[in-house]
Amino acid sequence: MTVRSVIEKYPDTKGLFVAAGMGDLVEGDRYRNITTFLSLQSVLKALGKDPHTFIKTLTDHLASTENSYDAALRHRDQGNWDAVGVIPMAVHLKMLEVFEDLRRELKQEHGLEFGGRMASAQEGGAWITEAYRDVTDPGLLPDVCLGRGYDFFFDRIFQERFIETGVYNVVRDGEVNPDFNGLDLPDPGSNYNVLAVIPAVIIVREKARGTLPIPRSWERLLDKRYRNSVCMPDCNIDLPRAVLLTLYSRFGEEGVQSLAHNIAQLMHPSQFVRKLRAAQNDVPAFTVMPYFFAQVVSSIPGIRVVWPDEGAIIEPLYTLAKSDRGQFKSDPRAVKAAADLFMGQKVASLFAKAHFPALHPRVDNGLPAQASFWWIGWDFLQSHDVTALGARLEQMFQKHVAAKAAG
Q: Which residues contact 81 (CB under 8 A, 6 or more apart)?
A: 115, 116, 117, 131, 142
| Nearest-angstrom CA–CA distance, 306 and 302 | 13
Q: Is the pLDDT score of 55 beyond 90? A: no
| pLDDT tops 90 at residue 268 | no
| Residue pair 262/241 in contact by the 8 Å Cβ criterion | no
Whether 71 and 219 map to the same domain: the answer is: no
> Cα 272 from chain centroid?
17
Residue 63: its pLDDT value, please? 66
Q: What pLDDT sits at residue 43?
A: 73
Q: Does any domain span residue 343?
A: yes
CB atoms under 10 Å from CB of 21, counted, come to 10
Of these ranges, 1-10, 130-139, 166-175, the one predicted with the greatest mean pLDDT is 130-139
CA distances for 315 relative to 63, 249, 344, 381, angstroms: 33, 14, 20, 12
Supply the pLDDT for residue 21. 72
Residue 294 or residue 64, greater confidence: 294
| CB-based burial, 284-316: b 16+ in 10 Å, e otherwise | bbbbbbbbbbbbbbeeeeebebbbbebbbbbbb
Tell whether 227 and 280 lie within a shared domain: yes
Shared-domain flag, residues 111 and 185: yes
Mean local confidence (pLDDT), 217-241: 88
Count up the domains in the chain and report the number: 3
Residue 359 pLDDT greater than 50, yes or no: yes
Amino acid at 312: A
Look at residue 339 and tell me if it is in a domain. Answer: yes
pLDDT band at 267 (very low <50, low <70, confident <90, very high): confident
Res. 124: pLDDT tops 70: yes
With a pLDDT cut of 70, the percent of the chain lying above it is 88
Residues 68 and 87 reside in one and the same domain: no
The vertex-349 CA angle with 346 and 350, nearest 5°, equals: 90
Domain limit, last residue, from 75, 95, 122:
75
Is the CA virtual torsion 279, 282, 287, 292 positive or negative? Answer: negative
Query: Which of the four pLDDT bands, split at 50, 70 and 90, describes residue 67?
Result: very low
Full domain range(s) for residue 239: 198-313+393-405
Radius of gyration of the CA atoms of the chain, in A: 22
Bridge partners of 183, per DSSP, are none
Model confidence at 69, pLDDT cuts 50, 70, 90, reads very low
Residue 36 banded pLDDT, cuts 50, 70, 90 = low
Verify that 90 and 189 share a domain, yes or no: yes
| Average pLDDT over all residues of the chain | 86
Whether residue 397 sits in one domain with residue 275? yes
Q: Look at residue 34 in the predicted model and tell me its pLDDT.
A: 56
Does residue 387 sit within a domain?
no
**What mean pLDDT do residues 301-308 have?**
94
Residues 306 and 331 in one domain: no
Q: Which residues pair with 163 in a beta bridge?
A: none
CA distances from 321 to 10, 177, 192, 193 (A): 29, 21, 8, 9
Is residue 272 domain-shared with residue 399, that is, in the same domain? yes
pLDDT at 173 over 80: no
Answer whether residue 192 is part of any domain.
yes
Count CB neighbours of 169 within 10 A: 17
Between 356 and 93, the more confident residue is 356
Same domain, 192 and 202: no
Q: Model confidence at 68, in pLDDT bands (50, 70, 90)?
A: very low
Q: What letter does residue 212 receive in the DSSP assignment?
A: P
Q: Rounded mean pLDDT of 247-258?
A: 97
pLDDT at 279 over 90: no
172 pLDDT exceeds 60?
yes
% the chain with pLDDT above 90: 56
Whether 204 and 190 share a structural domain: no
- State the CATH number of the domain containing residue 400: 3.40.190.10
Whether residue 182 is found in the same domain as residue 323: yes
The residue that leads in pLDDT, 23 or 167, is 167
Among residues 30, 57, 75, the one where a domain terminates is: 75
Q: What integer pLDDT is reported at residue 112 of this predicted model?
A: 93
Contact 141, 132 (CB under 8 A): yes
Is there a domain that residue 388 lies in? no
- Give the number of other Cβ atoms within 10 Å of residue 385's Cβ: 16
How far is the C-alpha of 269 from the C-alpha of 332, rounded, in Å?
40
Provide the 3-class DSSP secondary structure of residue 341.
Answer: helix
Q: Which of 57, 75, 93 is the last residue of a domain?
A: 75
CATH number at residue 146: 3.40.190
Residues 270 and 397 placed together within one structural domain of the fold: yes
